[in-house]
Amino acid sequence: MALTLQTPLYATISSSSSSSSSAASSSSSSTTRSSSFSFLRSTPPPTLIFNFNNNSFPRIRASSTDTVITELDAVSSFSEIVPDTVIFDDFQKFPPTAATVSSSLILGICGLPDTIFRNAVEMALADSECYGLEDNARLSCFAAKALVNIGSDMTKLVPGRVSTEVDARLAYDTPGIIRKVHDLLKLYNDSNVPHDRLLFKIPATWQGIEAARLLESEGIQTHLTFVYSFAQAAAAAQAGASVIQIFVGRVRDWARNHSDDKEIESAKLNGEDPGLALVTKAYNYIHKYGHKSKLMAAAVRNKQDLFSLLGVDYIIAPLKVLQSLKESVASPDEKYSFVRRLSPQSAGRYVFSDEELIKWDQMSLANAMGPAAVQLLTSGLDGYADQAKRVEDLFGKIWPPPNLEMCTSLCRSRDFVSMHDRGGNGHVITALGLYTVQWRLWAGVTVGCLYGDGMHTVITAGGQGRADLRQKSKLSLLSYSFGIICSHLLHCTHHGDRSSNFK
């Protein structure tokens, strides 16, 4: 998802016959969070003029060669429109400006053999730092490294921030959430990913909200999810969460089948959609009282939902809605004429009750959350926890790799090992002692090993890779196609028919 910190712009539609074009961009520094974008706006037809300020959102364009203003262009003037899609769907049509990394995404990657992120999972499973841990801790370590490897790759592909899921099984454990975020952040640091490119997605339990408050005080950006009540949204805003996510459609779906929630019944009595009303109220609270949080409306089901939310910071829209907007030419005569529904000005006029303006704590939050929020939060946590367990179960089935025990036995024996190149050029590598074991999965072969005797270090990597020969201060590269299989290593053979190459 696209999570850039930028101020919503204002747009007007007029009947002027002149034309205009604009480019929107933002820059980033070590102290100010923003991402760098440059977008070309095509010339609109004579009947439409869009005027933008200098802090406009990056917007999804139907095509850089279009000569008309589409509905997608128009709505992007008010809110940042984000494709509700995983990385595999219509990436070219609607490239994401930012992303979320989750257990669900890992499962999807493992089910798709050709995805560019498959290597990120493989390398997580090949990380020796997890090997010495007990079974459950080792699998959790693999999962964390997979999330970070994928997230690190995504930061190179999207201009905005990457939100990384925090294990939902920690939802009621504030210290546990903080430890997990610190662990993930350390892994991102090891990959040289700047902090301002990262968000950490935390369930909006009281414990999660409190964890967000403490993390934000450290300068770590948080993304609170599973917000289904005004009390949660207000408490999250008071905690200083960077992003607050509300699921519009899920609240509406619950309201259709239940009638015992005070907050939802109040919205229905006022003739309002409960999901849209919750977003509106949360937005007004954030902006009226000067909280820094950005509001994200998710589970948007149709164009009417989207039009009703124009002005909110982020709208997560399904691909079918984006496609419909992209194919429709904007017209000021339409029923929904692209009016900004949410704005700081309208927020200033909104009246809150004294009960809604309290300093939220654990007890007041529990008392204010109705059946809808409790049930939807519980359901969401159960789903996320199940996905996290499925990832660990999957990793448990494919780890350890074949021949790992044979290779570690060789490691313990510290026997003299020589690898003879079978490519015909006569090179021989010798080394004493196996220092550590590395392996790779799903790459045709499974095991690579690191040898060293103090003077020589030979790294052989399974699959498509390369090996390093370090002799004193000299670095040489051994390139090969297929690598070394551990069982073959015992027989001192090179697996593959390509010649080794030393320089």
Domain boundaries, the chain: 404-489
> If pLDDT is split at 50, 70 and 90, which confidence band does 128 have?
confident
Report angle CA 62, 51, 31 to the nearest 5 degrees: 85
Task: Please state, in angstroms and as integers, the Cα–Cα distance from residue 428 to each residue in 256, 323, 363, 436, 478, following that order.
Answer: 73, 59, 71, 21, 11
Q: What is the pLDDT of residue 258?
A: 93
- List all residues 6 or more positions away from 70 whose beta carbon is below 8 Å from its beta carbon: 62, 325, 326, 327, 328, 329, 330
Inter-residue contact 138 to 392 (CB < 8 Å): no
* Nearest-angstrom CA–CA distance, 225 and 462: 40
Between 475 and 241, whose confidence is greater?
241
Q: N- to C-terminal Cα distance for the chain?
A: 45
**pLDDT tens figures, 260-314:** 999 999 999 999 999 999 999 999 999 999 999 999 999 999 999 999 999 999 9
Give the whole-angstrom CA distance, residue 1 versus residue 15. 35
pLDDT value of position 14: 32
What pLDDT score does 82 carry? 85
Least confident of 5-19, 59-73, 232-246, 338-352: 5-19
Asked if pLDDT for residue 457 goes beyond 80, the answer is no
pLDDT of residue 177: 99
Query: Is the pLDDT score of 33 beyond 90?
Result: no
Average pLDDT of the residues in 136-141: 94
pLDDT at 434: 31
The predicted structure's pLDDT at residue 63: 42
Q: Which of 180, 201, 281, 294 is catalytic?
A: 201
Read off the pLDDT of each residue in 102-117 and give the average, rounded to a whole number: 88
Amino acid at 87: I
Q: Do 143 and 168 meet the contact criterion of CB atoms below 8 Å apart?
A: no
pLDDT band at 32 (very low <50, low <70, confident <90, very high): very low
pLDDT score, position 255: 96
Between 492 and 371, the more confident residue is: 371
pLDDT confidence bin for 4, thresholds 50/70/90:
very low
Whether pLDDT at 224 is above 50: yes
Q: Identify the pLDDT of residue 41.
A: 34
| HEC readout, 363-394 | HHHHHHCCHHHHHHHHHHHHHHHHHHHHHHHH
Which tokens belong to 214?
A: 């403490």
Provide the sign of the torsion angle of the four alpha carbons 89, 91, 95, 101, taken in this order: positive
Residue 496 reports pLDDT greater than 80? no
Map tokens 């021949």 to a residue: 403
The per-residue pLDDT for 271 is 95
Rg, Å, the chain Cα set: 27
Q: Model pTM?
A: 0.71
- Predicted local distance difference test score (pLDDT) of residue 147: 98
Q: How far is CA 463 from the centre of its chain?
A: 28
**Mean pLDDT computed over 141-166:** 95
From residue 112, give the alpha-carbon distance in Å to each of 87, 119, 272. Answer: 12, 12, 42
pLDDT of residue 88: 54
Looking at the predicted structure, is the pLDDT value of residue 94 above 80?
no
pLDDT-based confidence at 98, cuts 50/70/90? Answer: confident
| 93-102, 332-341, 442-451: least confidently modelled range | 442-451
Q: What is the mean pLDDT of residues 224-244?
A: 99
Distance of alpha carbon 37 from alpha carbon 24, whole angstroms: 7
Is 80 exceeded by the pLDDT of residue 480? no
Beta strands in 356-464 (DSSP E): 416-420, 428-432, 434-439, 447-452, 456-460
Question: 331 pLDDT band (50/70/90 cuts)?
Answer: low
Residues 6+ apart with CB under 8 A from 261: 254, 255, 370, 371, 372, 373
**CB of 178 within 8 A of CB of 216?**
no
Assess whether pLDDT exceeds 70 at residue 467: no
Is residue 106's pLDDT more than 50? yes
Q: Residue 190's pLDDT is what?
A: 94
Question: Which ranges of 424-482 would DSSP assign to H, the alpha helix?
Answer: none
b/e 210-224 (16+ beta carbons within 10 angstroms → b): bbbbbbbeeebbbbb
Q: Given pLDDT bands bounded at 50, 70 and 90, which one contains residue 27?
A: very low
Task: Say what the pLDDT of residue 44 is.
Answer: 38
Asked if residue 143 lies in contact with residue 133, where contact means CB atoms within 8 angstroms, the answer is: no
303 catalytic per annotation? no
Dump pLDDT digits (tens) for 57-86.
334 444 444 457 889 988 998 999 888 866
The pLDDT mean for the chain works out to 73
Residues 6+ apart with CB under 8 A from 335: none
Which of 38-47, 80-89, 105-114, 201-210 is most confident?
A: 201-210
Average pLDDT over residues 114-135: 85
Structure tokens at 106: 């890992």
> At what angle are helices 118-125 and 135-155 packed, to 10 degrees?
140
pLDDT > 50? residue 429: no
Reported confidence tier of residue 35, pLDDT bands at 50, 70, 90: very low
The predicted model gives 196-222 an average pLDDT of: 99
Q: Is it the case that residue 340 has pLDDT exceeding 60?
A: yes
DSSP letters, 289-334, are: TT---EEEEE---SHHHHHHTBTBSEEEEEHHHHHHHHHSB--TTS
**Residue 440 corresponds to which amino acid?**
R
- Report whether pLDDT(385) > 90: yes
